[in-house]
């Protein structure tokens, strides 16, 4: 990785960590949202085990959306995006690094928290492992798709509402494959199908999402 990309990765990670309130609020939302469902539906172990994968995945999906609107906002306000356009590094690569830094500080903590929360729903060890792997593959996809929406709505008044409208339909396949892989294991079936589809979505979004984000950012800066 060129030095400028390593510097950009380090810079973005540090910026997110300095605004730790955003990260903590997202993690708090994830924990609270997941924890409220057992209180709402009761303590029936069979019911909790049935809804567990969907609850954890929906909570993770909603949590990733909380700070997406600020993914490029600070750089847009202080002129850093214009400097990226003028830098020798292709904007597509710079965008990919920024999204990776965002996932490291927001998506990866969700992956580590998910098995702990899954225990509340009585998930077996194999189900917890599959859920962890599905989130490890799925959360980057959510971030990459969300980054496209964030770039499209950059500088738009009421962009947070528009962002949700744009990306929620695109999140549906990730949710189905992610939660479905855990449900398949719980039913005695193989999770290979759902995991493979998540991996395919990850490859597609890694290839195409940074290109789309870079194009949207160029339009926003014109």
**d(C-alpha 179, C-alpha 162), whole Å:** 26
Task: Report pLDDT for 1.
Answer: 53
- Residue of 91, 142, 109 lying closest to 17 (CA atoms): 109
- Residue of 109, 116, 118 lying closest to 38 (CA atoms): 118
Query: Which of the 8 DSSP states describes residue 43?
Result: S
Contact 110, 143 (CB under 8 A): no
Contact 73, 147 (CB under 8 A): no
Residues whose CB is less than 8 angstroms from the CB of residue 221 and which lie 6 or more positions away in sequence, other chains included? 76, 81, 82, 85
**d(C-alpha 11, C-alpha 78), whole Å:** 14
What would the mean pLDDT of 6-15 be, rounded to a whole number?
A: 80
- Residue of 132, 109, 142 lying closest to 30 (CA atoms): 109
Is residue 217 scored above 80 in pLDDT?
yes
**d(C-alpha 107, C-alpha 89), whole Å:** 25
pTM beyond cutoff 0.85 = yes
- Residue of 63, 66, 162 lying closest to 113 (CA atoms): 63
Q: What is the pLDDT of residues 188-212, one digit of tens each?
A: 898 899 999 999 999 999 999 999 9
**d(C-alpha 97, C-alpha 102), whole Å:** 9
Confidence of residue 2 (pLDDT cuts 50, 70, 90): low
Confidence of residue 158 (pLDDT cuts 50, 70, 90): low
Q: What is the pLDDT of residues 45-91, one digit of tens each?
A: 888 888 999 999 999 999 988 878 778 877 777 777 788 777 778 88
Q: What is the pLDDT of residues 134-157, one digit of tens each?
A: 999 999 999 999 999 988 888 777
Contact 106, 67 (CB under 8 A): yes
Domain ranges of the chain: 3-221
Task: Report pLDDT for 76.
Answer: 77
């Amino acid at each position: 990785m060129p030095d400028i990309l390593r510097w950009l990765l380090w810079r973005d990670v540090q910026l997110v960590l300095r605004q730790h309130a955003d990260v903590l609020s997202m993690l708090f939302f994830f924990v609270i949202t997941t924890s409220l469902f057992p209180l709402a539906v009761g303590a029936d172990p069979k019911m909790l085990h049935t809804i567990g994968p969907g609850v954890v995945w929906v909570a993770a999906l909603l949590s990733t959306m909380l700070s997406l609107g600020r993914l490029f906002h600070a750089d847009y306000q202080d002129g850093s995006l214009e400097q990226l356009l003028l830098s020798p590094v292709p904007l597509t690569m710079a965008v990919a690094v920024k999204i990776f830094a965002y996932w490291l500080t927001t998506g990866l903590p969700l992956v580590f928290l998910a098995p702990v929360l899954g225990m509340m729903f009585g998930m077996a060890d194999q189900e917890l492992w599959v859920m962890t792997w599905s989130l490890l593959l799925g959360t980057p996809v959510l971030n990459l798709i969300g980054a496209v929406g964030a770039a499209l709505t950059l500088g738009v008044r009421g962009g947070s509402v528009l962002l949700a409208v744009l990306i929620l339909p695109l999140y549906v396949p990730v949710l189905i494959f992610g939660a479905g892989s855990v449900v398949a294991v719980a039913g005695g079936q193989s999770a290979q199908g759902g995991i493979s589809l998540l991996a395919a979505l990850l490859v597609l979004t890694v290839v195409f999402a940074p290109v789309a984000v870079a194009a949207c950012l160029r339009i926003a800066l014109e």
